[in-house]
């Protein structure tokens, strides 16, 4: 299998959309979706910009296993590592993505296509920046915030730091044929949202309807409240029949581990229950968040309220900037306890404990917003995509 599955250029300069499939070798649905969309675009063409489809873990895809040596989607933040298959794959992908960024004539967006071991609706995972929210809201599926913070070393986290808007799209269960369809749907909607294809044509209308049907009745957005991590020697067995976004109650038995039972630590919605032999996480728990929270959060960030954080007691600017030059603060534990669940999360910060007992708050840097020029002859009244690159959190989906 070649690394580059497709590479299609439009006649006009514009954004670049990178789709990556097969980050895990037992998740081939993204590969098939990229090949299908790339083939269709070669026949019909792009209006502007560039679409690139990349394959992730080539040896693991050939072997049809999640990974050979280590999880490729957990090592993007680790430079000092023994060489192995996944390190080689990461370095090759890193060079390919850097080449694409260097050649880009406009903003670059990345969608990392995945599938899950358990059943459930499609959804997006993202680092909480306004640019990432805009990208996720172009796809009418549930949006999960906080999960990217709980999983260090992911591809989308690394690309956030490089200034590229990035999301992960979980299309459904590994073997479900609909997972290929859902992955294609997400790609077509992103191409339409970026103005790379006509947003009035059926290739964006039918995908929107199909994904809306697949996620009807589920919350539009949830925030992670618990991660059940597994040890390297854990004997873990998920209770049969649980689906992502299924409502659970505190104390409910969810799994067996090392001879005991695992109960839900909080009420909410279970995410990514583990039904495969390899994996670092047994499950996650999320709670719904409302559209009003997203709107307030966007307003505070656009008004740069974080400039006033340094005047709060117990908060000091950190001398070392965060990834991409983002502002960072050192915070007293009591201040974090009081403010983090509300103010700091609204502003997009994540907390990391330090050796001195304080916490380091770092916010992802925002990629520059680029206004896309209107295409000649394309009327706004026919556009069925209501989330645009220049208006991040305006969305047709009620979250």
Domains of the chain, each with CATH number or no CATH: 4-214 (3.40.630.10), 221-288 (2.40.50), 291-363 (no CATH)
Residue 82 phi, psi dihedral angles, 5° rounding: -65, 145
What are the beta bridge partners of residue 253?
263
Helix (H) or strand (E) holding 96: helix 85-103
Please give the pLDDT value at position 232: 77
Q: Under a CB-based contact definition with an 8 Å cutoff, are residues 126 and 145 in contact?
A: yes
Q: Under a CB-based contact definition with an 8 Å cutoff, are residues 211 and 134 in contact?
A: no
Q: Under a CB-based contact definition with an 8 Å cutoff, are residues 72 and 89 in contact?
A: yes
Please give the pLDDT value at position 310: 80
Please give the pLDDT value at position 162: 84
Please give the pLDDT value at position 347: 87
C-alpha–C-alpha distance, residues 26 and 112, integer Å: 15
The reported pTM is 0.88
> Which residue reads 């309220």 in tokens?
305
Q: Where are the beta strands (DSSP E) in 96-181?
A: 108-116, 123-126, 143-145, 165-173
What are the Cα distances from residue 339, in Å, to 288, 292, 299, 359? Answer: 20, 19, 18, 12
> Which residue reads 């260090």 in tokens?
152
Residue 237 phi, psi dihedral angles, 5° rounding: -140, 115
pLDDT tens string, the chain, 399 residues long: the values are: 899 999 999 999 999 999 999 999 999 999 999 999 999 999 888 999 999 999 999 999 999 999 999 999 999 988 877 789 999 999 999 999 999 999 999 999 999 999 999 999 999 999 999 999 999 999 999 999 999 888 889 999 999 888 899 999 999 999 999 999 999 999 999 999 999 998 665 567 889 999 999 999 999 999 999 999 998 778 999 999 999 999 999 999 999 999 999 999 999 999 999 999 888 899 999 999 988 999 999 999 898 888 888 888 888 888 776 555 566 888 888 887 777 667 788 888 888 888 888 888 888 777 654 443 343 333 333 333 334 454 444 443 433
SS3 88: helix
Please give the pLDDT value at position 323: 55
C-alpha–C-alpha distance, residues 360 and 308, integer Å: 17
Please give the pLDDT value at position 387: 40
């Amino acid at each position: 299998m070649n690394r580059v599955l497709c590479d299609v250029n439009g006649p006009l300069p514009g954004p670049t959309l990178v789709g990556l499939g097969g980050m895990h070798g037992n998740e081939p649905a993204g590969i098939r979706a990229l090949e299908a969309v790339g083939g269709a675009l070669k026949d019909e063409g792009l209006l502007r910009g560039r679409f690139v489809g990349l394959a992730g873990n080539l040896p693991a895809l050939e072997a049809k296993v999640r990974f050979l040596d280590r999880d490729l989607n957990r090592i993007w933040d680790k430079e000092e590592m023994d060489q192995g298959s996944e390190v080689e794959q990461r370095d090759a992908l890193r060079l390919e993505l850097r080449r694409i960024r260097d050649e880009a004539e406009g903003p670059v967006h990345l969608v990392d296509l995945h599938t899950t071991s358990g059943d459930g609706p499609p959804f997006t995972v993202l680092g909480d920046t306004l640019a990432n929210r805009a990208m996720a809201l172009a796809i009418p599926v549930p949006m999960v915030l906080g999960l990217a913070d709980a999983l260090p070393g992911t591809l989308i986290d690394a690309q956030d730091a490089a200034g590229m808007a990035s999301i992960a799209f979980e299309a459904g269960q590994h073997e479900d044929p609909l997972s290929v369809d859902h992955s294609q749907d997400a790609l077509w909607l992103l191409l339409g949202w970026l103005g790379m294809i006509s947003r009035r044509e059926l290739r964006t209308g039918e995908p929107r309807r199909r994904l809306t049907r697949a996620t009807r009745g589920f919350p539009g957005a949830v925030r992670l409240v618990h991660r059940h991590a597994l040890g390297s020697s854990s004997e873990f067995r998920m209770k049969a029949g649980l689906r992502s976004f299924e409502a659970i109650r505190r104390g409910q038995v969810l799994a067996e581990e090392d001879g005991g039972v695992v109960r839900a630590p909080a009420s909410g919605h279970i995410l990514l229950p583990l039904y495969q032999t390899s994996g670092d996480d047994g499950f996650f728990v999320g709670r719904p968040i409302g559209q009003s929270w997203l709107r307030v959060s966007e307003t505070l960030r656009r008004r740069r309220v974080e400039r006033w954080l340094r005047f709060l007691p117990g908060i000091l600017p950190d001398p070392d900037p965060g990834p991409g030059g983002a502002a960072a603060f050192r915070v007293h534990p009591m201040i974090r306890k009081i403010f983090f669940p509300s103010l700091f999360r609204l502003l997009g910060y994540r907390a990391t404990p330090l050796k001195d007992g304080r916490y380091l708050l770092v916010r992802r840097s925002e990629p520059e917003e680029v206004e896309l020029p209107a295409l000649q002859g394309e009327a706004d009244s026919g556009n069925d995509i209501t989330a645009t690159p220049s208006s991040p959190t305006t969305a047709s989906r009620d979250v």
